[in-house]
Amino acid sequence: VALATCARFGIPERIVSDNGPQYTSEAWKDLCRHYDIEHVTSSPHNPQANGHAERAVQLAKRILKEDDPVLALMCYRATPTTSTGVSPAELLMGRKIRTTLPSLTSDLVPKWPDKDLIRRRDAEAKRRQAFYFNKRHGVRVLPQLQLGDNVMLKLDEERTWTGPASVIQESCTQRSYQVSSPRGGEMRRNRRHIQRVPPATTVNTETIGLGTGHSRADNQHQNSSQGQCENNGHDRSTPGQVVTRSGRVCKPVVRLDL
């Protein structure tokens, strides 16, 4: 399938895929090496890093559920997309394709769309989607990790952080690191699945002892002062008055003698 696609559309310079077994086999590596293709894989357990492929799989499943998948595929290729404003057929062949819907002959004349305008529309659509996604989910930029940092690992479906692990190297893609597994070995994880552990700080025990002694003396002095204040407050009360524990005098309610 890969060779047939290359024969039809040409050899690509770069292919981005997930970490499926078909892309980690020796046959695939030999193919990329023979045709000088740069193969980049997304972070494991992070399908958002390869959103184009995930969306294409979702679209293909939807088309295969139709009564006539070939007709559904033709309708998809002839329908303009929201981000670009033109159909996939126009982007590939420079003209609209004839479908079952009535159309004018002049609409089928080859006419390449403005590529700069399409790029601007696509970039604006992606920027708008990223803005609302980050706003809805409270996305924040995580700091970069350094080699040798102690980290904890947790995937989205896991509940607790496991570790400790150590950062070995930074992978070729952004926000992806090679870390040592808590059980031994190496694994690749995205930055959102890694939490840096702050370094342990040493504290002088003598200082802690002195501070504890001072705090105890201060607490005793404070308790004695509070006791004196409470006693003084009770002493100031006159017979017939009700004083609360906090020292406030309760005044009786004056009612109208009607």
Q: What is the pLDDT of residue 120?
A: 94
**Domains of the chain by range and CATH?**
79-140 (no CATH), 150-196 (2.30.30)
| pTM exceeds 0.75, yes or no | no
Strands (DSSP E) found in the chain: 14-17, 38-41, 150-153, 162-170, 176-180, 186-190, 194-196, 242-243, 249-250
Coil, helix or strand at residue 83: coil
208 phi, psi to nearest 5 deg: -65, -40
Tens digits of residue pLDDT in 193-216:
888 888 765 445 444 444 444 445
Provide mean pLDDT across the span 153-158. 86
Characterize 63-95 residue by residue with b for buried, 16 or more Cβ atoms within 10 angstroms of its Cβ, and e for exposed: beeeeeeeebebbbbbeeeeebebbebbeeeeb
CB-based contacts of 12, cutoff 8 Å, min separation 6: 6, 37
Residues 6 or more apart whose Cβ sits within 8 Å of residue 96: 78, 87, 89, 90, 103, 107, 108
Exposure of 155 in the CB half-sphere (CA atoms within 13 A): 10
Render pLDDT for 46-58 as a digit per residue (tens, 0 to 9).
888 888 888 889 9
Model confidence at 66, pLDDT cuts 50, 70, 90, reads very high
Q: What is the pLDDT of residues 71-97, one digit of tens each?
A: 999 999 999 998 899 999 999 999 999
The whole-number average pLDDT for the span 119-125 is 93
70 pLDDT higher than 90: yes
Query: Residue 224 has what pLDDT?
Result: 53
CA distances (Å), origin 213, targets 203, 206, 216, 220, 223: 16, 11, 5, 11, 15
pLDDT band at 38 (very low <50, low <70, confident <90, very high): very high
Contacts of 192 (CB under 8 A, 6+ apart): 46, 142, 175
